[in-house]
Amino acid sequence: MIQERPFFQRLIFSIDWWLVFSVMVLMSISFAAIYSAGINYELSFRYVSVQLLASSIGFVGFLFFTGFNYQYYKYIGKLLYIFSLMILVAVLIFGSVKRGTKGWFDFGFVSFQPVEFAKIVFILIFAAFLDICSKESKKISFLIFAFAILAGHLTLIMMQPDFSSTLSYFPVTLVLLFTIGVGFFRLICIMILGILAVGIPLLATFIDMQLEFLQGKMLLTKVAIFLKTGWNVFYFIFVILFLIMCGWWLLWKLKIKIQIVYPIVLSVTILLGCMASIPVKNSLKDYQRKRLIVFLNPNIDPRGSGYNIIQSKIAIGSGKFMGKGFKKGTQAQLGFVPEQHTDFIFSVIGEEGGWVMAQLTLFFYFIFIWRALMIAKEARDRYGSLVAIGIATMFTFYVVINVGMVMGMMPVTGMPLLMLSYGGSSIFSSLCAVGILCSIHSKRYTYC
Amino acid sequence: MVWQKENKFNYETFLEKHKVILVFFMLLFIGLSIRLFYLQIIKGDKYRKISQQQRMYNTRERAPRGIIYSADKEVLAENKFNYVVFYHPLKAHQNSLEQVIVELNKILDGKIKQIANKDLKYGKVVKLIDNLTVEEMFKIQEKKLNLKGVSVVREPRRVYFHPEAISHVIGYVNEIRSNEIENMASQGYKIGDYIGRGGIEQEYDKYLHGKDGGWQIEVNAKGYQIKAFKYVTPEVGADIYSTINLKLQKVAYDALKDSCTARGAIVVLDAKTGAVKALVSCPGFNANTVGSKKFDKYLKNGNSPLFNRTLQALYPPGSIFKVITFAAAADLLNINPSEITFTCTGSFEVGNRHFGCWYKPGHGNLNFIAAVAQSCSSYFYQLGLKLGIKNLEKYAKKFYLGQKTGIDLPNEKKGFIPNPEWKKAKLKMPWFRGDTAIFAIGQGAILVTPLQMACIMSAVANKGLRYKPYIVDKVVDFEGNEIYKHELKFDDKLELSDKTWTLLHQALLESVENGTGRRCKLEGIKIAGKTGTAQNSQGKDHAWFTSYAPADNPEIVIAVIVEHVGGGGLNAAPICKKIYEAYFNIEPTNEFNKEDDQ
């Protein structure tokens, strides 16, 4: 039954050429844009060569992951999880600090950012967990377990602290939970809980800083002073918890019956968030605080984050239909747009290539994501589908957040545009992700 | 073992979710594409324009302002070139502003204390110090190597030759304020431009300021120069020829300054054209001190030297107003000028109130002419009551009170003429007969400017022909083309009967010959004038004197007011006399006549 074909024939048959083609187009656009963006820094050659090197390493990774049967990940899920945690811990101990984030392994010439890789590993692990425990997906304990997995990664990344990298975890988690069949109501509850759990420690830190640095908005400062005096903060939390319980009891009396678990989980989350805020506040170093401030309130940035956004909007808008031509963008070449080779690469494409190139880039990105979703549809088992959907989600949200930011629709976060931005780690891990997709694709018709 | 077949139920629910996800992602991409289309296609032109603008930077080379001349060809305002040090960060690897200041202070012995304009934004030029001497300039040039980013530029600076005496006519210049720039931008003003304030500098700024030049260069985001495009030579501003007679102006200013309070105003008009020969407001200021602490002192000075009293200060006209009452009476009431119709007892009763005449014992028997010459208030109370408030108001307006004269200087006030309606609306009180009585002698709520008083006299001198007062005769640009010339035309004619004009002349002549204005009498020249003593709530009376000469063929008109000194005949008339002496070259006693001899 199993017909042995020659290796190359099998490869050609098993690879999704649309997927690979779109990746190739995106990468060639990326090289041109990085070259042009680097002229202003007089680093074009270095950028392009580093990117080429990373891409070729990435290509090896791509081939490796294409060849590796993705189904094994499911069985070594626990191992992978422990491994990823170890890497994240290691980077906290041995890593080097760049721009306020302790997230790089520095090997002299090359440096590597393990977060980029951890994101993909997380998709593999999380999909494995969901696939194995899918029968229990209606239970609360299932959700709690799922979030325990997420929390492991998030805490370690937050400790670097790299807030923007954690952003992609949330959509991936939510979309995968949705795919496995968790109800809408619960997803919304999860969102609220997630916002509370992350928001409370951030808010606590922020309020502290409000007192130290800002003293800007009167209301916030007053609230901060109120909470800081004596035992007020404890009374405040107690009152909130009491109100939650009262509300639940009232609803119960009104015949709207909600399981007791929900208010309890809500209360516990708030309590945990409050407790977590104490170590978060105390353990933050100065540079970490600074990064957090800029993340929460970008206007403190001396040149103003508004400046970045305005300039990148001008850059994109001034490209008009046909663009100003390769290496001829005044915004890019005169350095008006900061970080134009990394996070703001899309502004260079929009300015020098015009609407034609920018729309083409978005189009090929969509082709890529569409193919990823098709791979999910055709996958041989549910695990494969989940992994493919996870990867598609990750890419989609990177594009939406990054391009949205460059066009002034989203706040400034340090998220790169995968496969386009300059950055060795991100291009390498992106290509590995493409490799995994190809692996899922190649197994679609193989029976064993 | 494909799950599509093995686990059909699960796969179908998965397909539903898959469809939702696909549609959701597609919507996200459509959203991004719409935004992209909006930015690049719909708003593309706007952003292209901004991107062009922000890479261009113009260095400024100031244009010298035009020169202002007096009628006797004296230079009133001119430009001197001085050296200014700028911090001009147009290239990378330059010293920081702080380093530069430390270095410069070593050379200039700590002359730079602070910089007004601290916001160093993307290549914006910072002015470090101006008014350098040539030696200092050379010292800086020697050490140029240590001072990267510093440039020494020759810049025009406004110089005023006759400060104080002529300060209000000329005004001064300083840099445009940031809160003004919004309104002024439409007229082509930019940040950093100099703008005239007050006087000719303000009114004729558009001719005077010329056009700044400089290099147009391309800069990068840090403001560093990438390349230069073109150079524009600055255009010199046009010169202004004013009608001011410097000699008269100085005499008038000195005369006012020597008075008791040294506060007041003088307007000298050419009776035949309306040209302003002198416009003095005392105390004056020194416009060369603009920007220094000395100038700030003027702002706090209680005598308000920056205030142009000739057109901005409002005074009650006092007895000068009797000219108008007289004209109204001569026109409307059939009065025999030589007939004695009234006896002044020093006091006049309206209802149950007593109104006093300035001469307590009373003037005794008076005819129409003598009443003006003696400035008898009692006579005019009864005249005013006979005429009624309606007629008085009508004639006050006929003599252009309560409206601007239209002189080509900024911030002119229009004064105020009260009437019964105003009193009712504002004070909630009816108009009494007593109000009419004091209106007839120019007291009460009526307010005028010295320039308006001069214009009344000018109209009287010309028998009703009224010329608009003007101060700039012509404007000539640097190529010699006349781009503005004052056109002589009388605005309007004040229609009164010939008999009225003759009577008025007679009365005013009599006033100087034998009446209250006799301290202005000059040998050989007939002067017609009227004194005034304006009571006011702030202190002693203001002294007024308005006149024209020669009475038969009027050449000049003079209005004098000295604040808070007392009677007009005693204090204002002698000042006026000094100006006539200077004008007619009588009694050659001072240095100006020596100049004339040369």
> Residue B557 has what pLDDT?
94
Touching B: A residues 326-355, CB under 8 Å: 330-331, 334-336, 350, 354-355
For residues B89 and B151, give the distance between their C-alpha atoms in angstroms, rounded to a whole number: 10
Residue B538: predicted pLDDT: 83
More confident residue, B561 or B54: B561
* Contact yes or no for B22 and A370 at CB 8 A: yes
- Picking from A132, A334, A374, A396 by the largest number of B CB atoms within 10 A of its own CB, the best residue to mutate is A334
**Partner residue facing A382 (CB), from B14, B22, B46:** B14
Of B21, B45, B52, the CB nearest to A175: B21
Question: Between residues 6 and 25 of chain B, which touch chain A (CB distance below 8 Å)?
Answer: 7, 10, 13-15, 17-18, 20-22, 25
Q: Which two tokens stand for residue B233?
A: 């030579």
Cα B391 to the center of its chain, rounded Å? 33
Please say if the pLDDT value at position B595 is more than 80. no
Report pLDDT digits (tens) over A382-422. Answer: 899 999 999 999 999 999 999 998 998 877 777 889 999 99
A320, A365, A404: residue with CB nearest B44: A320
- The answer, for B26 touching chain A at a CB cutoff of 8 Å, is yes
CB pair distance less than 8 Å for B35 and A319: no
Lowest mean pLDDT among A21-30, A195-204, A331-340, B387-396: A195-204
Phi, psi (degrees; rounded to nearest 5) at A370 = -60, -45
Does B110 lie in the same domain as B21? no
Q: Rounded to an integer, what distance in angstroms lies between the CA atom of residue B25 and that of residue A267?
A: 34
Q: In a 3-state reduction of DSSP, which class is residue B227?
A: strand
Q: Do B32 and A399 touch (CB under 8 A)?
A: yes
- Tell which residue, B400, B410, B498, has the closest CA to residue B458: B400
Do B195 and B274 belong to one domain? Answer: no
Domain count along chain B:
3
Strongest mean pLDDT among A220-229, A304-313, B3-12, B528-537: B528-537
Strands B68-69 and B239-242 come out as parallel
Is any Cβ of chain A less than 8 angstroms from the Cβ of B92? no
CATH number at residue B146: 3.90.1310.10
Q: Does A254 touch chain B (CB under 8 A)?
A: no
Residue A364 has pLDDT above 90, yes or no: yes
Residue B577: count other Cβ atoms within 10 Å of its Cβ: 24
How far is B292 from chain A, CA to nearest CA, in Å? 34
- Which residues of chain B neighbour A370 with C-beta distances below 8 Å? 22
Report pLDDT digits (tens) over A57-87: 999 999 999 888 898 999 998 999 999 999 9
What whole-number distance in Å separates Cα of residue B432 and Cα of residue B420? 9
- The answer to whether residue B399 sits within a structural domain is yes
B540 and B587 together in one domain: yes
Domain with B307, as residue range(s), is 246-257+264-559+569-597
- Contact between chains at B14 and A407 (C-beta distance less than 8 A): no
B349 and B497 inside one domain: yes
- Kindly state whether residues B438 and B547 are assigned to the same domain: yes
Name the minimum distance, in Å, from the CA of B128 to any CA of chain A. Answer: 24
What integer is the mean pLDDT of B107-122? 60
Contact B3 A382 (CB under 8 A): yes
Confidence of residue A303 (pLDDT cuts 50, 70, 90): low
pLDDT higher for B177 or A361? A361
Residue whose entry in the numeric block shows the structure tokens 């597609």? B26
Provide the residue type at A23 as one letter. V
| A171 in contact with B, Cβ within 8 Å | no
* Stretch A102-113: mean pLDDT: 82
A370: left (phi over 0), alpha (psi -120 to 50) or beta: alpha
Minimal-distance CA residue of chain B relative to A311: B51
Q: How far is A32 from chain B (nearest CA, A)?
A: 20
Residue B267 · residue B288 · CB < 8 Å: no
- Note whether B514 contacts A: Cβ–Cβ < 8 A: no
The count of CB pairs under 8 A between chains A and B is 133
A316 close contact with B: CB closer than 8 A: yes
Looking at the fold, whether B236 and B298 belong to one and the same domain comes out as: no
Higher pLDDT, B2 or B61: B61
Burial-class residue A138 by CB neighbours within 10 Å (0-12, 13-18, 19+).
exposed
**pLDDT value at position B588?**
45
Choice between A138 and B34, residue whose per-residue pLDDT is larger: B34
The region, left, alpha or beta by phi > 0 then psi within -120 to 50, assigned to residue A325 is: left
Q: What is the pLDDT of residues A230-283, one digit of tens each?
A: 677 788 888 888 888 888 888 888 887 777 777 787 888 888 777 777 776 666
Say which amino acid occupies A348: V
CA–CA min distance A153, chain B (Å): 25
Interface contact A334-B221, CB threshold 8 A: yes
Residues 6+ apart with CB under 8 A from A155: none
Residue B590 pLDDT greater than 50, yes or no: no
User: Do the chains contact at B51 and A318, CB–CB below 8 Å?
Assistant: yes
Which pLDDT band holds residue A5 (cuts at 50, 70, 90)?
low
The domain boundary residue, chosen from B178, B207, B241: B241
**B1 part of contact set with chain A, CB < 8 Å:** yes
ipTM passes above 0.85? yes
Look up residue A210 and give its DSSP letter. Answer: I
Q: Does A127 touch chain B (CB under 8 A)?
A: no
Dihedral sign (CA A354, A358, A361, A363): negative
Cβ–Cβ below 8 Å for A336 and B220 = yes
Q: For residue A366, what is the nearest residue in chain B, using CA coordinates? A: B29
Q: Smallest Cβ distance to B221: which of A179, A319, A335? A: A335
Q: Return the higher-pLDDT residue of B31 and B497.
A: B31
> Does B1 reside within a domain?
no
Q: Would B373 be classed as within a structural domain?
A: yes
Kindly report the backbone phi and psi dihedral angles of residue B528, in degrees, each rounded to the nearest multiple of 5, phi listed first: -110, 135
Q: Do A396 and B28 touch (CB under 8 A)?
A: yes
For residue range B432-476, what is the model confidence (pLDDT) as tens digits? 888 888 898 888 889 999 999 999 999 999 888 888 899 999 999
- Arithmetic mean of pLDDT over chain A: 84
Q: Are residues B206 and B271 in the same domain?
A: no
Residues on chain B touching A336 (C-beta within 8 angstroms): 51, 54-55, 220-221
**Span between the terminal Cα atoms of chain A, in Å:** 10
- Rounded Cα distance, B434 and B445, in Å: 13
Q: Which residues contact B103 (CB under 8 A, 6 or more apart)?
A: B95, B143, B146, B147
Inter-chain residue contact B1 with A314, CB threshold 8 Å: no
Q: HEC string of B172-207?
A: EEEECCCCCHHHHHHHCCCCCCEEEECHHHHHCHHH
Residue matched to tokens 């706090």: B300
- Distance between CA B316 and CA B532 in Å, rounded? 10
**B460 shares a domain with B327:** yes
With beta carbons under 8 A apart, name residues in chain A contacting B25.
366, 369, 373, 392, 396
Q: Mark which residues 400-429 of A lie under 8 Å from B by CB.
A: 400, 403-404, 407, 409
User: Is the CB of residue A382 less than 8 Å from the CB of residue A134?
Assistant: yes
- pTM exceeding the 0.80 threshold for the entire prediction: no
**B50 domain residue, yes or no:** no
Q: How far is B224 from chain A (nearest CA, A)?
A: 9
Q: What is the pLDDT of residues B189-217, one digit of tens each?
A: 877 788 888 889 999 998 998 888 888 88
pLDDT, position B94: 63
Delimit the domains of chain A by residue range: 7-442
- The mean pLDDT of chain B is 85
Which residue of chain A is at minimal alpha-carbon distance from B220?
A334
> B112: distance to nearest CA of chain A, Å?
27
Tell me which residues of chain A, numbers 369 to 398, contact chain B at a CB-CB cutoff of 8 Å.
369-370, 373, 376-377, 379-382, 385, 389, 392-393, 396
> Which ranges in A210-231 belong to alpha helices (H)?
218-228
Q: How confident is the model at residue B594 (pLDDT cuts 50, 70, 90)?
A: very low
User: Which of B89, B127, B126 has its CA nearest to residue B222?
Assistant: B89
Alpha helix stretches (DSSP H) within A297-423: 305-318, 330-333, 345-378, 382-406
From the list A175, A178, A380, which residue is nearest B2 (CB)? A380
Q: Read off the pLDDT of residues B288-335 as tens digits, 9 standing for 90 and up.
A: 888 778 888 888 888 888 889 999 999 999 889 999 999 998 888 888
Given 3-state DSSP classes, what are the helix, strand and coil percentages for chain A, each rounded to the nearest 5?
Answer: 75, 5, 25
β-strand B126-132 against B75-87: which pairing, if any? antiparallel
* B40: helix, strand or coil: helix
User: Do B85 and B180 belong to one domain?
Assistant: yes
Out of A1-5, A397-401, B186-190, which region has the weakest mean confidence (pLDDT)?
A1-5
| pLDDT beyond 70 at A306 | no
Residue B39 is classified by DSSP as I
Q: Residue B297: left if φ>0, alpha if ψ -120 to 50, beta else—which one? A: alpha
Q: Is A183 on the interface with B (CB under 8 A)?
A: no
**Distance in angstroms (rounded) separating the CA atoms of residues A290 and B187:** 45
Q: Is residue B345 part of a domain?
A: yes
Residue A179, chain B, CB below 8 Å: the answer is yes
Q: Would you say residue B338 lies in a domain?
A: yes
* Residues B251-295: tens digit of each pLDDT: 999 999 888 888 999 999 999 888 999 999 988 899 888 877 888
User: Shortest CB distance from B36 goes to which of A369, A370, A407?
Assistant: A407
Kindly indicate the confidence band of residue B115, based on its pLDDT and cuts at 50, 70 and 90.
low
Give the model's confidence band at B368: pLDDT under 50 very low, under 70 low, under 90 confident, else very high: confident
Q: Measure the CA–CA gap between A289 and A101, rounded to whole angstroms.
A: 11
Chain A hits for B14, Cβ within 8 Å: 179, 382, 385
Residue B121 pLDDT class (50, 70, 90 cuts): very low
Residues B275 and B300 in one domain: yes
pLDDT for B220 equals 77
Contact B464, B495 (CB under 8 A): yes
Do B418 and B511 belong together in one domain? yes
In a domain, B48, yes or no: no
Q: Which tokens belong to B180?
A: 């003004």
Residues B118 and B169 grouped into a single domain = yes
pLDDT at residue A217, as a whole number: 58
Answer yes or no: is B547 within a domain. yes
Which pLDDT value is given to residue A284? 65
